[in-house]
Copies of this chain bind each other. A is one copy, B any other.
Amino acid sequence: MSNSDLDNLIEIMAKLPGLGPRSARRAVLHMIKKRALLMVPLADTLQQVATTARECLNCSNICSGTDLCDICSSEKRLNGEICVVEDVADLWAMERAGVFKGRYHVLGGTLSALDAIGPEELRIPKLMDRVASENVREVILALNATIDGQTTAHYIAGELETRGVAATSLAQGVPIGGELDYLDDGTITAALKARKAV
């Protein structure tokens, strides 16, 4: 019998973002040494998540085994605010901050003429449906501060204006703990333009 399973495992691990062939080998050796503590639980949990993970039918967050995610199934989070994010990772980042109490809407990308991604591909119609059905007062556009992100934000803000719903975006400025010397010119310019009285 050959070591093909092992080679196979290393090859699959090397496809994960952040890992290459070298770190995949290291991770596999580490797991073999910690078989009961790490390798078997990882295999079981992967299997479990692969079976149960699905997209929330409302906001496209990831949830396990249910049609709606925890946030969309909680009445407490129905407060008239929806935070629009590009990706589930952004939703998780917002939730870690723990300050937003409303619901989310995951676009799944940004508008892009080059990649032929229009509003239909981004669940923007679904967002407009939700704005009506969930009595939304304010949509917070927490999109990345990239050209595509800002284009998308402008498009959605325009759609919301025709429906009389407020659209806001995250403030731009100096990050907490940030040192001016290490910031790019664009951030400093934005922070200066948005300066506030102390």
- The interface size of chain A toward B, counting residues with CB under 8 Å, comes to 50
The reply to whether the CB of A50 lies closer than 8 angstroms to some CB of chain B is yes
Q: Chain A interface secondary structure, helix, strand, loop or mixed?
A: helix
Count copies of this chain in the complex.
2
- Least CB separation from A27: chain B residue: B16
- Beta-carbon contact of B1 and A45 below 8 Å: no
- Beta-carbon contact of A26 and B17 below 8 Å: yes
The reply to whether the CB of A174 lies closer than 8 angstroms to some CB of chain B is no
Q: Identify the A interface with B (CB < 8 A).
A: 1-6, 8-9, 12-13, 15-19, 23, 25-32, 35, 38-43, 45-50, 52-53, 62-66, 69-70, 87-89, 92
Nearest first, the 3 closest Cβ-Cβ pairs linking A and B are A43-B46, A18-B23, A43-B47
What are 26 contact pairs spanning A and B, CB under 8 A?
A2-B70, A3-B64, A3-B70, A5-B53, A5-B64, A6-B53, A6-B64, A9-B48, A9-B49, A13-B42, A15-B38, A16-B30, A16-B31, A16-B38, A17-B23, A18-B26, A29-B87, A31-B46, A31-B50, A32-B49, A35-B50, A39-B46, A39-B49, A42-B46, A43-B43, A47-B47
